[in-house]
Amino acid sequence: MIAQAIFYVLAVLTVGSSAIVAFSRNIVRSTFALLGAFMGVVGIYVLLAADFVAMIQLLVYVGGILVLTLFAVMLTQGIADVTISNRAVGRLPALIISAVAAGIMIFAVFRTPWRQSARIIVAPTTYGIGNAFLGPYALPFELASIVLLAALIGAVVISRPLDRGVSNRLSNEE
């Protein structure tokens, strides 16, 4: 009973935050609402006993992508002042498509014969994945880390302001 109540709270958090992300006119507010959506999904994964997927969601999406998005939004000058010129275009088709999708999902929820297990066996899933990363998949795992490190260094180099001495030399060479 408690797990069901927690699920509904997490579902409301996820859907509510997603609605704020989709409908907010302020990009900073949308980015912070994305945190609530991602954290709600993490909570649902924890309830499903998918500990590895929950931690990957937390590390990759909340720890990586969301922080990167926040930095991009905060470092971009005047991003909060951007106005969208034509917000009315596409509202009716979007509303129709959303209503059809919601109708299909509601139909599926009420027509599906849901079966529940008598007893849920919770077992850690990270043991096998950890052994695979340290065994046959060690080389691809390390190569992926080197590629990510190179991408991070490239992002830092691209985002650094150009030195005036360098820019003057570059313009003189042309």
Reported as a single tens digit per residue, the pLDDT across 67-126 is: 888 887 777 766 666 655 556 667 788 889 989 999 999 999 999 998 877 776 777 777
Token duo for residue 147: 């590629």
One domain, residues 137 and 75: no
Task: Tell me which of 15, 50, 81 is where a domain ends.
Answer: 81
Task: Tell me which of 81, 97, 116 is where a domain ends.
Answer: 81
Residue type, 27: I
Domain contains 98 = no
pLDDT digits (tens, 9 = 90+) for 121-141: 777 777 887 888 888 988 988
Domain contains 110 = no
Q: How many residues does the chain have?
A: 174
Containing domain of residue 128, as a range? 124-161
Is residue 56 within 8 Å of 65, Cβ to Cβ? no
pTM above 0.85, yes or no: no
Spatial CB neighbours of 82, under 8 Å, sequence gap ≥ 6: 27
Q: Please report, for the domain that includes residue 66, its CATH number.
A: 1.20.120.1200
Task: Tell me which of 81, 109, 132 is where a domain ends.
Answer: 81
pLDDT digits (tens, 9 = 90+) for 3-50: 889 999 999 999 999 989 888 877 888 888 999 999 999 999 999 888
One domain, residues 77 and 147: no
